[in-house]
Structure 1
């Protein structure tokens, strides 16, 4: 700022793009009369600054640059003399020394030589252009995490004249050179230049590059990972992810299968990983086949997932890992030594004291083993639940209210004539035959991945808006034991007939408590007698839900608990 004040040019405004700094950057900038805009990656910060600018010319500078005397006036004079549309200046090291001076002069020479072939440069050289051209090309490409400056120069260079200016010099810090070494930093820039000259994009991950070097920053970076089986984890995670982003946290998300497909259409920075899947046949979890099916992919998934996560962790430097029952992020948290926060509905199986029928004992033991294997030694555990058996360790574990989609909260439920049927797998053909035998009743069925009518049964593929309408007007719900669907049904005051996937203990436990709380019924199998008895009691179950289920109007309480837990872990 002092070097800007010393310039013999005062028809300017200074705009600072601040990327969540925790030092005195904002305070100092304001003392110099600067405008402050939100920062982020370089492309975002530069675009935000350009949007705020009122002048005809834009000069983009890095934070560690120092302007030499008459820098601005000499740059504009040469820029206008050659009728340029975009230009960069040349660089001089702030710290003296023979190696520093030679390396920077060589960088200047190389940049000038390359510019004879095509427009080329980097933000550290200072970029001068017209605001009208900036707007014409749509600014910096915010989808690029590296090379956004070269891409920007090339695009404006195609519609105007480009030059490396001869006179003005910009002093730049050599701290990155000192931290990474001349050899490593030279190789990285050489690799990026070769790719860019070939017209290829370069990423931070490819170069093992970070925009941070030794600067203290606010702890706000999160790796968030979730189980990809079904859509329950994905649907609630979408609510959580949106909240965390709006609260100013930087997130990278990992998911597999349908969860990846769902979230990648809603958010940026969602990465696909391999995950575990359960094999279902005849509405039963087949654990031997599940083991065989998953084990053939585990060696490659373990290598590929951990490599991908670890490389991103080296660039992103997460302060915490949050896992919604996802195995590989749990391993990563222990490898890189950051706190692990577990948030899911599965841990009620292992972290609470409750009774379940003896006939499910083997299923319970297996489920406990899976939960312990998936998440080890979490620093904190939050459990989504609509039932609250006593916790074993209240110091590190607590219940939170289930996450409900805002669209569900907004619905005004009505008791209609149709029965909503939602299945987590398409293997329960016995149920479909039973429904068809009740020709005087209308059933709308989700989970069979098709859109067709079969007598009184209407099959629908998954579309959120349509599901909301069907949910709102349903008389009651027939489902497996999926947690998210049950909690949304309770929110909408819909009695539940739960037929868990056989041997799937998490669903069995959910169903047991639906019945114990008087919100519906749990059965291992369904037949005409069970269906008739349930339908005869739906009014009673609906009354119990209205009187006893603790409905919320939004997710604020759960999300605030999550945020406070994250902040505690940041600074423990």
Structure 2
């Protein structure tokens, strides 16, 4: 009971974040924005280091990230990295634990970060999982056919390594009933304030975002089109007659996203949710062997928010057919609920 009172007055909270991309970091920051009166210590590596510039405390811990090659999960490299960390010397050495104990947290939140639930158990505090990934083993739904190898390599670490929290907050642009309502709650997407403050408009350019710059075949195909493309994820470099490459920038990304005709992305949940909140149809090239991305793309098509392809070679003809249905997609998107911030804040208060 003391922890519950502390959370809503003034609490110290550790927030572990998977830092191999920006999606989980964005969700963790959105949660911190819901309750800015508390003190947060962010745990992670990679993109999580950026919280220091925002005024948050940060402690680096090992990163069990995912590696990519040619728009596909590099399973061998991902396993090698994980094995090196987990089978080496104790990744949670005494120095890390001592610093967290001095912070004296009363709650742990994990945004798909492996070590946070372990730390929470060591400290005897509650751990809440915040992500979309746990739809696979925490929700009831009809599984689409195919993608068995991808589903296996996704489900195995999900169950064995990332399902050790006490409670699960699954936020998603699609909602299914939980298998256990006592330990799992389901919400629309959790969004950052800077996104919610933007007023969208229908511009002329197409917004392109790639989780990894390894999808090298996409850009030459886009150059065959008459469309104008604003591209994030490949770094800043010289463009072409119809392509502009943007450097990483949250403000720039949101401005270009809000003013585009539609979005071309992989299958990352966070970018899809942000685009849908702004009313933008999605065409997805999900990363192969990343089952969550396939399922997100499947739901985009199923809910008529857009379409996807699993073909290795991108083709402009896919986009041409997609563009014929933009009005239909926008109509479907207009009926959706893509912001669960208030519901998540309320449920946190109830649970804690």
TM-score norm. by structure 1 comes to: 0.57
1:314 to 65, 87, 101: 101
Provide the residue aligned with 2:121 in structure 1: 334
Partners of 1:379 and 1:448 lie apart in 2 by: 38
Q: Deviations over 1:273-324 (max 9, x none)?
A: 2201222111010212211233223345x62435344212332332221111
Provide the residue aligned with 1:255 in structure 2: 44
Provide the residue aligned with 1:544 in structure 2: 332
Contact in 2 for aligned 1:381/1:397 (Cα 8 Å): yes
1:524 lines up with 2:313 in the alignment:
no
Contact in 2 for aligned 1:224/1:251 (Cα 8 Å): yes
> RMSD value over aligned CA atoms?
1.9
Q: Deviations over 1:476-531 (max 9, x none)?
A: 00000011100011001100001100010111111111111010002113312211
Q: Deviations over 1:207-258 (max 9, x none)?
A: xxxxxxxxxxx88332211111101111221121233332xx3322212111
Partners of 1:259 and 1:305 lie apart in 2 by: 17
Provide the residue aligned with 1:504 in structure 2: 290
1:226 to 4, 10, 17: 17
Q: Deviations over 1:146-172 (max 9, x none)?
A: xxxxxxxxxxxxxxxxxxxxxxxxxxx
Partners of 1:545 and 1:243 lie apart in 2 by: 25
Partners of 2:164 and 2:91 lie apart in 1 by: 23
Provide the residue aligned with 1:474 in structure 2: 260
Secondary structure at the counterpart of residue 454 of structure 1: coil
1:271 lines up with 2:59 in the alignment:
yes
Q: Note the C-alpha offset of 1:401.
A: 2.2
Partners of 1:219 and 1:403 lie apart in 2 by: 22
Q: Deviations over 1:130-150 (max 9, x none)?
A: xxxxxxxxxxxxxxxxxxxxx
Contact in 1 for aligned 2:25/2:111 (Cα 8 Å): no
Trace 1:360-379 onto structure 2 (pairs within 5 A).
360-379=147-166
Contact in 2 for aligned 1:452/1:460 (Cα 8 Å): no
Q: Note the C-alpha offset of 1:359.
A: 2.0
Question: Structure 2: any 5+ residue segments left out of the alignment?
Answer: none
Secondary structure at the counterpart of residue 489 of structure 1: helix
Secondary structure at the counterpart of residue 199 of structure 2: coil
Trace 1:284-303 onto structure 2 (pairs within 5 A).
284-300=72-88, 303=90
Partners of 2:323 and 2:215 lie apart in 1 by: 20
Contact in 2 for aligned 1:321/1:329 (Cα 8 Å): yes
Secondary structure at the counterpart of residue 223 of structure 1: strand
Secondary structure at the counterpart of residue 312 of structure 1: helix
Partners of 1:520 and 1:492 lie apart in 2 by: 14
Partners of 2:192 and 2:106 lie apart in 1 by: 27
Determine which structure has more spread, i.e. the larger CA radius of gyration. 1
Contact in 2 for aligned 1:348/1:383 (Cα 8 Å): yes
Residues 331 and 405 from structure 1, CA distance in 2 versus in 1: closer, same or farther, beyond 3 angstroms?
A: same
- Name which structure has the greater RCO, CA cutoff 8 Å, separation 6+: 2
Partners of 2:319 and 2:192 lie apart in 1 by: 29
Contact in 2 for aligned 1:326/1:374 (Cα 8 Å): no
Contact in 2 for aligned 1:325/1:374 (Cα 8 Å): no
Provide the residue aligned with 1:79 in structure 2: none
Residues 560 and 267 from structure 1, CA distance in 2 versus in 1: closer, same or farther, beyond 3 angstroms?
A: farther
Contact in 2 for aligned 1:257/1:274 (Cα 8 Å): no
Partners of 2:296 and 2:103 lie apart in 1 by: 38
Partners of 2:19 and 2:238 lie apart in 1 by: 27
Secondary structure at the counterpart of residue 558 of structure 1: helix
